[in-house]
Chain A
Amino acid sequence: MAVNGDQTGQTAPGAPGTKSDGGASANRKLRRGLILGGAVLAANSALAGRLWQLQVVETETYQEQAARNRLRTEPVRPVRGIVFDRNREPLVRNLPEFGVWVTPADVPKSREGSIIASLAALTGERPDDLRFKLSQARYDPGRPVQVAGDVQRDSALAIEERRHDLPGVQVRSGIRRQYLHGDAFGHMLGFVGPVPAESLEEYQALGVGFDETVGLAGLERQFQGALRGTDGSRKVEIDALGRELNEIESEAPVEGRHLVLTVSVREQRAIREILARHLALRDAGAGVAVVIRPEDGSVVALASLPDYDNNAFGAGGDPSVLTRLVTDPRRPLINHAVAGLYPPGSSYKVIAASAALETGIVLPQTKIRCDGQLVLPTGWAFNDWLPTGHGMVDLHRGISESCNIYFYNISGGNPYTNLTGFGNRRLVEFERAFGFGEASGIDLPGEAAGLVPTAEWKQGNLGQPWVTGDTYHAAIGQGLVQVTPLQIAMMYSAIGNGGRLLRPRLVDRIVDTQGNVLQRLPVSERGQLPVSEGHLRLLRNALLEAVNGRNGTGKYARSEFAVVAGKTGTAEYSGTRDSHGKLPSHAWFAGYAPAENPEYAFAVLVRDGGEGAFAAAPIARDIIDYLMTGEMPPLPQDRPDFIPPTRRLS
C-alpha cells in the first residue's frame, strides 16, 4: 500500500507534531470524511424531500392559507332602518360616528393587555368590557368586531396615528341613533344598545354580531330584524398589519327596513302635552292616554307619563338621568299604556251589563233598588259610591250614573230578593270575550295580559275560596281584576265600531329604502263582542247619557266639538285612606267620539288621580277637542269649569 504510505508521509511536513501511525489513521480519516459527506447528502436530501412535500404535494393547502392571510372577508353592516310617522316624518335619524374595530387574528396574544389598556385610555371604555368583547371575538378571529362606538374625533385620530402600536385595531365610521322627539316617542320607539350578555346566543342565532347595537325596547326591539337588514360582505386584500390594500369583491347589504307608523308626530305630541298639563297640577302625577281609531284599530296616540328621552340611552347619555329613571317610584321606564296593570273600576261595568242582558238575568227596564249599601247575611257590607243611594235603578241609569248596587245584584245576586245574578263563571266568559286576560297584540314588546280572576285562580294563588263579594267586585272592575289602559281603549273601540274587537295597530307598513311597501300590517279582528245589536245600542245610549245626561258621571268629558260617549272609573286600591276615610284610587275615563259614528276611542288613566269624573274626564275632553279642531285646548286651569285636583265627589 505504497500510496497510503506516501499520503501519510506527505501529510507530515505541513502539520508539525503530527504523529503518524501509518495507514490505519489515514484510512479512518478518509472513511470518516466520507461518512460526513454522506451525512451532508442525507441531510440535504431530507430538506429536498421536505421541499417536495411543501411545494409540490401540499402546495394547494399553503396557497389557500396564504390567500386566507391576504384576503379577509368581512361583513358589511346594513344601515338601520328609519321609523316614520303616518305623514312620513322621520322619528329617528342615523348620525355618523367613529367606531373602533378590532380584528382579533391580528392582535398578538402577548400584546393584548397593552392594546386593551391603550384602547381603554383612548376611548374611555372599561378594560373589562374590551377584554370581554375581544375574548368573544376570538371565536371567529378573522372577523373584525366593533369594540367601541361614538368615539371622539380626537381619539379616533390618535388611534389612527398609533396604528403601528395597535396591530389589528381600526377606526371605522358608523352610525348612532338620534331620536328626534325624545320624550314623546320614548316609550314607543324604545332604544338601541349593545347586545345583552345573557341573550347573546339568541341574537347570534339571528346573525347579529355580539358587537352590534340592537333594539332593546319599544319598536326598536319589536322590529329588530326588519330595522337591522341583512349583512353584505366584502373581500379585501390586506397586509400583515391588517391594512386594507384593495377590495376584491363585495356584496351590498340589504339595508334596514323602514317602519311607517299609524301615529303622527303632531297628534302624539299634542296628546302627550294635554296629559302632561293635567298631571302637572298634581304632585308626582302619572298617567296614561291611549287613543285608537275604532274603524281599524290604528293607534292615534299612546302616552305614558312620566316618560323618558330615549336619547339618554345612547352613547354619551348622562348617567345621572339614567339613575333617576331607574329609581323613580313611578317607574318611567315602563310603558304603562301596554304594560301597566290596574283595576279598571267602573269603566268595566259595560261587561257585566252585557252579560246581564245576554243571559236574560234582567230586562233593560228591570229596576233594582239601591239604598247605597248592600249587606250580605255574612255581615259583609258593599257600598255604593253615593251613600244616599240611587233609588230604583234600571240598566240605563245603572251605567250612566254608575250605580254599584245595580251591578252587585245582577252579577252576584241578592240574597234578599229572588234575583240570582249571572255569576262569576259567566262574567269571566264575557270579560275574555271583551279582550281581557290576554295581550291585545300591539306591535310593542312587553305587553301585559292582565288578570281575569276566577275561582280557580283565587284558590290557586291566594288559597282562598271564591265568595259572592268577589263577584261583586269583579263586576265593577275592582278587587282582583287587572287590566291595561290599552285593553280598556280597545274595548271601547269595539263598542264604538259596532262590536268588532280589533288588534291595535301601531305599525302601518314596512317599506324598503325606495319606499316600496314590503308588508302592510293587516287590520285583524280578534273577535266579536258577544252582544246583540239591540243590546249594544242600549249600552251606547247609556254611555252617551253618562256624559251628556243630567246626572251623568262623565259630564266633565263633554266637548263643544263632538258628542262624547264614555264611562268614568274610580278604581280603589289598597293604600292609606285620606282624611275623608276614602281609599286611594286610580281615575279612569274611557269612551269614544263622536258618539254616533266614532272616529276615536280612548282610555285615560290618572294614577292615584282620585275620581275619574274630575281627574280623567277633563283630559279626555281636551283630547277630543284637540283631535276635532287640530288646535291645542286652553290650559285646564284657565277653563271656567276647572276642578282642582283636591276636590272629591261627595
Chain B
Amino acid sequence: MTDALRRFDLAIIIPAIALVSAGILILSTTGDPGQTGLDHKAVQQGVFVAIGLAAALVMAFLDYRLLNAVALPAFIGGTILVAAVVVFGDANLGAQRWFVVGPIVIQPSEIMKLAAIVFLARYLARRGEGVRSIRTLLLSLLIMLVPAALVFIQPDLGSALVFVAIWLAMVFVAGARWWHALIPAGMALAAFPFAWFFAQDYMRERFVAFLDPSSDPLGAGYNVLQARISIGSGGWWGQGIGQGTQSQLEFLRVRDTDFIFAVLGEQLGFVGALGVILFFTILLAQAVIISIRARDDFGRYLAIGIAGMLFFQSFVNIGMNVGLMPVTGITLPLLSFGRNSLVVTLAAIGILLSINAHRTAAPHRQQGVWWVSSVRRMAARPESPPRP
C-alpha cells in the first residue's frame, strides 16, 4: 500500500499534469480555424497525452529493474531503427526523421533517447567505480555517440546534442573524474572547425543568426526575433488565451513545436511563463532527489539520465525562445506538439515514479528532513579513512 502511494509522487505528477495541460491549452489557440475533431492539434495532443499517461502508469507499476533485461535489445533495436530512418525515412523539411506506418508516425530518435539512457545506466551501474578510469569513460561516450552521430546526419543537430547532454549528466553522477571531462571538451573544440565545414547550411545560418538576429530579420533570424517580441509583448499577465497578435496573426512561426513557449509567453505573460519554468524546476529537482534516493546505481543513473534529458531539452528550448540559446530545433518536453516525444517523455516520468516507489525506507523517515541529513552526512567527510 505504501508502495502504491509512493508511486504517486505529487512533486512529479502535479508538474507533469500541469505542463501537458498548458501544452494542450496553448495548442488549442494555435491551430488553423479549419481544423476540427481529430485534425485539430490540441485534440491529437490530448490523445497522445492519454497514451503517454497509460505508458507512464505501466512504467510506474513495473519494477524499473526489469528494464535491465531489455536494455541491450532495446539499444540495438533502437540503433537499427535510427539507422534505418536515415536510409528509408520520409523526408520532411530536408531531414529524414521518421517513419510513417499507416496512421502511426514513428520517430526513432525519440525512442532511442530513452533506450540509450537505460542502456547507459545499466553499463555504468555494472562498471561501478570503473567510470573513474578513462577507458570506461570513453566506452560510455562511444555508447552515446553511436545514436548521436546517426541523428546528426539525419540531420538533427538538436537531438544529437541531447544524447551528449544525457551522457554528461550520467557520467558526472556516476563519478567520472573532473579532469576527464576535459577530454570530450577538447575533442569538441578540435572538432568544431570540421563540424562547421560539414554542418548543413541551416545550422550555420542559425548559429550566425543566434549571434546577431538582426543580420537577416526575414531569414534565419526571423523566428528568434519574433519569439522574443512575442514573449516581451506578453508583459506581466499576457494578452490572454487565444489573444496576442504575434501568434494569432502568425508573425511567429513554428508555434506548435519549437516556439510554443513564446506563444505561451505572449498569451499568459510573465506569470504564465514563470509558472512553466517553476513546474519544470520542481519536476527536475524531484527527479534529482529520486536519483539521490534511488535503491541502486541503475535506478540512480536512470533517474539522472531522465532528468538530464528533460533539463537539457527544456533549458535549450526556453533559452532559444528567450534568445539565450541558438536555434537547435529542440522541442519543449510535455508542451510542444509531438507524438513520440510526448509518449516517451511521459513513459520516462513513469520510470521516475517506479524508481521512487522502489527506493528503500528513506533515511529521512528516521532522521527528519532528508536533505538536512544528507548535508550532515557530507559534513562528516566519510572519505577520510575510518579511524581505528
> B277–A27 contact, CB under 8 A?
no
Q: By the criterion of a CB under 8 Å from any partner CB, how many residues of chain A are at the interface?
A: 66
B74 interfacial contact with A, CB 8 Å? no
Asked if A47 meets B277 with Cβ closer than 8 Å, knowing A23-B382, A65-B232, the reply is: yes
> A40–B126 contact, CB under 8 A?
no
B297 interfacial contact with A, CB 8 Å? yes
> A27–B229 contact, CB under 8 A?
no
> B230–A66 contact, CB under 8 A?
yes
Contact string against B for A residues 1-43, beta-carbon threshold 8 Å, 1 for contact and 0 otherwise: 1011001001111111111111111011111111111001101
Can you report 14 residue pairs joining A to B where beta carbons are below 8 Å apart?
A14-B295, A18-B297, A30-B292, A30-B378, A36-B169, A40-B288, A41-B285, A47-B322, A51-B277, A55-B235, A55-B265, A110-B218, A240-B249, A240-B252
- Min CB distance A240 to B, Å, is 4
> A18–B324 contact, CB under 8 A?
no
> B383–A44 contact, CB under 8 A?
no
Q: Within the complex, which residue of A1, A15, A23, A109 is in contact with B297, where a contact is CB–CB below 8 Å? A: A15
A52 interfacial contact with B, CB 8 Å? yes
Contact string against A for B residues 298-310, beta-carbon threshold 8 Å, 1 for contact and 0 otherwise: 1110001001100
> A46–B295 contact, CB under 8 A?
no
The 6 closest A-B pairs by CB, nearest first: A62-B232, A14-B296, A23-B382, A19-B128, A55-B270, A66-B233
Q: Within the complex, which residue of A29, A44, A240, A245 is in contact with B280, where a contact is CB–CB below 8 Å? A: A44
Asked if A69 meets B251 with Cβ closer than 8 Å, knowing A23-B383, A47-B319, A51-B274, the reply is: yes
- C-alpha gap A3/B377 in the complex (Å): 9
> A61–B125 contact, CB under 8 A?
no
- C-alpha gap A105/B246 in the complex (Å): 16
Residues of A within 8 A of B292 (CB): 29-30, 33-34
- Min CB distance A60 to B, Å, is 9
- C-alpha gap A345/B232 in the complex (Å): 81
> A62–B277 contact, CB under 8 A?
no
> B296–A11 contact, CB under 8 A?
yes
- C-alpha gap A32/B226 in the complex (Å): 38
The chain B residue with its CB closest to the CB of A63 is: B233
The chain A residue with its CB closest to the CB of B310 is: A40
- Please list the residues of chain B having a beta carbon within 8 angstroms of any beta carbon in chain A: 65, 68, 125-130, 169, 172-175, 216, 218-219, 222, 226, 228-236, 245-246, 249-253, 265, 269-270, 273-274, 277, 280-281, 284-285, 288-289, 291-292, 294-300, 304, 307-308, 311, 315, 318-319, 322-324, 358, 360, 363, 367, 373-374, 377-378, 380, 382-383
Asked if A44 meets B281 with Cβ closer than 8 Å, knowing A12-B296, A240-B251, the reply is: yes
> A110–B219 contact, CB under 8 A?
yes
> B229–A69 contact, CB under 8 A?
yes
A241 interfacial contact with B, CB 8 Å? yes
> A1–B382 contact, CB under 8 A?
yes
Please indicate which of the listed interface residues B127, B233, B299, B373 has the most CB atoms of chain A within 10 Å of its own CB. Answer: B233
- Min CB distance B386 to A, Å, is 8
Residues of B within 8 A of A240 (CB): 249-253
Residues of B within 8 A of A52 (CB): 270
> B126–A18 contact, CB under 8 A?
yes
Chain A, interface SS category = helix
Interface residues of A in 608-642 (CB under 8 A from B): none
> A33–B291 contact, CB under 8 A?
yes
Residues of B within 8 A of A58 (CB): 232
> B250–A47 contact, CB under 8 A?
no
- C-alpha gap A29/B294 in the complex (Å): 11
> B125–A15 contact, CB under 8 A?
yes
Please indicate which of the listed interface residues A13, A15, A237 has the most CB atoms of chain B within 10 Å of its own CB. Answer: A15
A480 interfacial contact with B, CB 8 Å? no
- C-alpha gap A41/B277 in the complex (Å): 10
- C-alpha gap A50/B315 in the complex (Å): 12
Residues of A within 8 A of B228 (CB): 54, 62
- Min CB distance B100 to A, Å, is 25
> B232–A55 contact, CB under 8 A?
yes
> B322–A54 contact, CB under 8 A?
yes
Residues of A within 8 A of B297 (CB): 11, 14-15, 18, 29
A239 interfacial contact with B, CB 8 Å? yes
Residues of B within 8 A of A32 (CB): 172-173, 175
A48 interfacial contact with B, CB 8 Å? yes
- C-alpha gap A28/B298 in the complex (Å): 16
> B269–A55 contact, CB under 8 A?
yes
A254 interfacial contact with B, CB 8 Å? no
> A11–B295 contact, CB under 8 A?
yes
- Min CB distance A110 to B, Å, is 5
Q: Within the complex, which residue of B284, B322, B323, B380 is in contact with A40, where a contact is CB–CB below 8 Å? A: B284
- C-alpha gap A261/B156 in the complex (Å): 73
A59 interfacial contact with B, CB 8 Å? yes
The chain B residue with its CB closest to the CB of A28 is: B175
> A17–B232 contact, CB under 8 A?
no
> B270–A56 contact, CB under 8 A?
yes
Known pairs A14-B358, A241-B250; list 13 more (Cβ under 8 Å): A10-B360, A15-B126, A16-B126, A19-B130, A30-B374, A51-B231, A51-B273, A52-B270, A59-B236, A63-B233, A63-B235, A70-B251, A106-B218
- C-alpha gap A65/B234 in the complex (Å): 12
A122 interfacial contact with B, CB 8 Å? no
Q: Within the complex, which residue of A30, A61, A245 is in contact with B232, where a contact is CB–CB below 8 Å? A: A61
> A15–B250 contact, CB under 8 A?
no
- C-alpha gap A43/B281 in the complex (Å): 10
Residues of A within 8 A of B382 (CB): 1, 4, 22-24, 27
> A36–B288 contact, CB under 8 A?
yes
- Min CB distance A77 to B, Å, is 26
Residues of B within 8 A of A46 (CB): 324
> B249–A70 contact, CB under 8 A?
yes
> B126–A7 contact, CB under 8 A?
no
- Min CB distance B279 to A, Å, is 10
Q: Within the complex, which residue of B129, B288, B383 is in contact with A37, where a contact is CB–CB below 8 Å? A: B288
> B251–A63 contact, CB under 8 A?
no
Asked if A65 meets B319 with Cβ closer than 8 Å, knowing A14-B296, A44-B280, the reply is: no
A583 interfacial contact with B, CB 8 Å? no
> B173–A54 contact, CB under 8 A?
no
- Min CB distance A50 to B, Å, is 5
A107 interfacial contact with B, CB 8 Å? yes
- C-alpha gap A213/B179 in the complex (Å): 72
The chain A residue with its CB closest to the CB of B377 is: A4
Q: Within the complex, which residue of B219, B273, B288 is in contact with A33, where a contact is CB–CB below 8 Å? A: B288
> B234–A47 contact, CB under 8 A?
no
Q: Within the complex, which residue of B250, B358, B374 is in contact with A34, where a contact is CB–CB below 8 Å? A: B374
> A44–B265 contact, CB under 8 A?
no
Asked if A36 meets B232 with Cβ closer than 8 Å, knowing A27-B382, A69-B245, A239-B249, the reply is: no
A238 interfacial contact with B, CB 8 Å? yes
A96 interfacial contact with B, CB 8 Å? no
Residues of B within 8 A of A238 (CB): 249
> B125–A17 contact, CB under 8 A?
yes
- C-alpha gap A14/B126 in the complex (Å): 11
> A55–B125 contact, CB under 8 A?
no
> A40–B285 contact, CB under 8 A?
yes
Residues of A within 8 A of B222 (CB): 108
Residues of A within 8 A of B311 (CB): 40, 43
- C-alpha gap A4/B274 in the complex (Å): 38
> A18–B265 contact, CB under 8 A?
no
> B374–A59 contact, CB under 8 A?
no
Interface residues of A in 159-202 (CB under 8 A from B): none
- C-alpha gap A628/B296 in the complex (Å): 121
Residues of A within 8 A of B172 (CB): 32, 35-36
Please indicate which of the listed interface residues A4, A17, A106 has the most CB atoms of chain B within 10 Å of its own CB. Answer: A17
The chain A residue with its CB closest to the CB of B128 is: A19
The chain B residue with its CB closest to the CB of A110 is: B219
Interface residues of A in 351-400 (CB under 8 A from B): none
- Min CB distance B90 to A, Å, is 23
Please indicate which of the listed interface residues A4, A24, A32, A51 has the most CB atoms of chain B within 10 Å of its own CB. Answer: A51
Q: Within the complex, which residue of B245, B296, B360 is in contact with A70, where a contact is CB–CB below 8 Å? A: B245
> A21–B129 contact, CB under 8 A?
yes
Q: Within the complex, which residue of A1, A19, A40, A55 is in contact with B377, where a contact is CB–CB below 8 Å? A: A1
- C-alpha gap A11/B291 in the complex (Å): 12
